[in-house]
Amino acid sequence: MPIFPISMGRNLGYGGAAPRVRGSVVIDLGKRMSQILDIDADDYTCLVEPGVSFYALYEAIQAKGYDHIWIDTPDLGGGSVIGNTLDRGVGYTPYGDHWAVHSGLEVVLPTGEIVRTGMGALPGSNTWQSFPYGFGPIQDGLFSQSNLGIVTKMGMALMPNPGGHESFMYAFAHPADLAPLIEIIRPLRISNILENVAQVRSAEQTIAVQGRPKTDFYTGPGMMPDEVIEREAAKLPCGKCAWVYYGMSYGPAHIRAYKLDIVHKEFSKIPGARKIDPATIPKDNYFWSRDNIAAGVPDLEELLWCNWTPNGSHVAFSPVSPIRGRDAEALVKLARDRRVEYGVEMFPAFCVGLREMHLIVEIVFDKTVPEARKAAMDCLRAMIDDAAALGYGEYRTHLALMDQVASTYSWNDGALMKLNERIKDALDPNGILAAGKSGIWPKRYRGRGWEM
């Protein structure tokens, strides 16, 4: 009997709660395993079960009155901490790389044994959540974006309250400002002057996140023309622009002032760059949503751009690249060319990690229209191939695209997939667990027409 474990199933844009194999029994772990097993207020760590959402963790910390502890939340706080971390989701505080700050897993293997990784393997250990490595090979990676186990507990580091925080927003006037901006961001980000995952968003997405339909702005054929984007952006706090930067500075006022001054000098090298004074931004503007998220306060506003089309649904194309202007330009061009070809609506945004950036291109479509669903899928498939031809790979993808994305990681005659399959067959000899997840199929499914 094929089984498919989920934590809360809110992996929106990447497949939600859906199993890859029709007829699988979905194990909804979050339904009953939803306890916060520990919050250590001295070590700044926690231990959670699959059903603990970012909201639940945040609220538990507030309820205990732990003002000195922050959590990190992704764009949408309603999902599972474990589910998001296993899928290598990110948030927007300095602790945004969730996988990097997890410490210790408890896992049920496909054959039924239960293992604890890291220090959890030592009975009575008191450092399971504070030293992720333990002794010997680190097995945690086997259980991330994989189908080798059911994770029932996970430890995670929590962030100390930095003693102050301040969101900032810059608007950049021209589409061509993207490349120089990315070049400026790279050294600032690597040296932690820009301390959190930086977001560079298109003006179009900033217009759409008001939650209003496209037809409010434009009723003509095809995509919204550039002049309409400029006109509508001009009505928003960002003003007439092509790109908007959202960031946050952490620490007491004098420390923030030191860093923000450097940022301002660097960003001002781009002609026409404008810092938007937060005091002028209305409280219902999306800026304050980003302000919450970057301060570890869960929020749900992000998906308002789904209202762009009737019955709006979304799916993401998420390639990774170096933080370089020429890569940003190549990826935006690739996406825009395919957008024109397939006539889909899309919103590109760059999320700049420490030494790489993810371009997240959200495609929004009317889920009740078969042609719109097909156009979204065809466009995604084309973009994945285009990206791979240029040397870019996705960091995460929708369940339906996992075979294709896995096939792009093909170096040395597919050596990585061969290794994945050997491990899969060894740990899951009956091939029951989440077959097809991340493009990894157990022996009894391989080459029988399941891959797509």
C-alpha span between 15 and 4 (Å, rounded): 12
C-alpha span between 158 and 156 (Å, rounded): 6
> Least distance to ligand ADP from the beta carbon of 154, Å?
8
Question: Judged by CB under 6 A, does residue 318 bind ligand ADP?
Answer: no
Catalytically active residues are 14, 395-396
- Given 24, 73, 84, 408, the residue binding ligand ADP (CB under 6 A): 84
Which tokens go with 285? 């503007």
Among candidates 115, 105, 70, 241, which has minimal Cα distance to 169?
241
Binding segment (CB under 6 A) for ligand ADP, from list 83-91, 230-238, 256-264, 324-332: 83-91
Q: Whose CB is nearest to ligand ADP? A: 83
Number of residues that bind ligand ADP (CB under 6 A): 22
Binding segment (CB under 6 A) for ligand ADP, from list 6-14, 178-186, 210-218, 333-341: 6-14
Question: Judged by CB under 6 A, does residue 397 bind ligand ADP?
Answer: no
Q: What character string, x for contact with ligand ADP (CB under 6 A) and - otherwise, covers 241-280?
A: ----------------------------------------
Q: Return contacts of 226-229, CB within 8 angstroms, 24+ apart.
A: 229/203, 229/204
- Given 45, 73, 80, 289, the residue binding ligand ADP (CB under 6 A): 80
- Given 79, 162, 312, 348, the residue binding ligand ADP (CB under 6 A): 79
Question: Judged by CB under 6 A, does residue 11 bind ligand ADP?
Answer: yes
Question: Judged by CB under 6 A, does residue 86 bind ligand ADP?
Answer: yes
Question: Judged by CB under 6 A, does residue 434 bind ligand ADP?
Answer: yes
Question: Judged by CB under 6 A, does residue 345 bind ligand ADP?
Answer: no
> Least distance to ligand ADP from the beta carbon of 209, Å?
20
Closer residue to ligand ADP (CB): 30 or 94? 30
Question: Judged by CB under 6 A, does residue 5 bind ligand ADP?
Answer: yes
Contacts with 270 (C-beta within 8 Å, 6 or more apart), sequence order:
172, 177, 180, 181, 184
Do 62 and 41 contact (CB within 8 A), yes or no? Answer: no
Question: Judged by CB under 6 A, does residue 195 bind ligand ADP?
Answer: no
C-alpha span between 79 and 446 (Å, rounded): 32
Buried (b) or exposed (e) across 187-207, using 16+ Cβ within 10 A?
Answer: ebbeeebbbbbbbbbbbbbbb
Question: Judged by CB under 6 A, does residue 377 bind ligand ADP?
Answer: no
Where in 98-157 is the site for ligand ADP (CB under 6 A)?
Answer: 150-151
> Least distance to ligand ADP from the beta carbon of 83, Å?
2
Among candidates 392, 396, 425, which has minimal Cα distance to 408?
392
> Least distance to ligand ADP from the beta carbon of 143, Å?
7
Which tokens go with 113? 């044994």
Question: Judged by CB under 6 A, does residue 10 bind ligand ADP?
Answer: yes
Question: Judged by CB under 6 A, does residue 75 bind ligand ADP?
Answer: no
Q: At what angle do helices 178-190 and 253-267 cross, to 10 degrees?
A: 150
Binding segment (CB under 6 A) for ligand ADP, from list 4-12, 111-119, 282-290, 325-333: 4-12
Question: Judged by CB under 6 A, does residue 29 bind ligand ADP?
Answer: yes
C-alpha span between 97 and 260 (Å, rounded): 23
> Least distance to ligand ADP from the beta carbon of 11, Å?
3
> Least distance to ligand ADP from the beta carbon of 150, Å?
5
Match 């231990």 to its residue by tokens: 47
> Least distance to ligand ADP from the beta carbon of 92, Å?
16
C-alpha span between 209 and 76 (Å, rounded): 14
C-alpha span between 360 and 275 (Å, rounded): 24
Burial level of 225, CB count in 10 A (0-12/13-18/19+)? exposed
3-state DSSP assignment of residue 344: coil
C-alpha span between 236 and 202 (Å, rounded): 13
Where in 32-51 is the site for ligand ADP (CB under 6 A)?
Answer: 50
Do 8 and 76 contact (CB within 8 A), yes or no? Answer: no
Residues of this chain that bind ligand ADP (CB under 6 A): 5-11, 15, 17, 29, 50, 79-80, 82-84, 86-87, 150-151, 434, 437
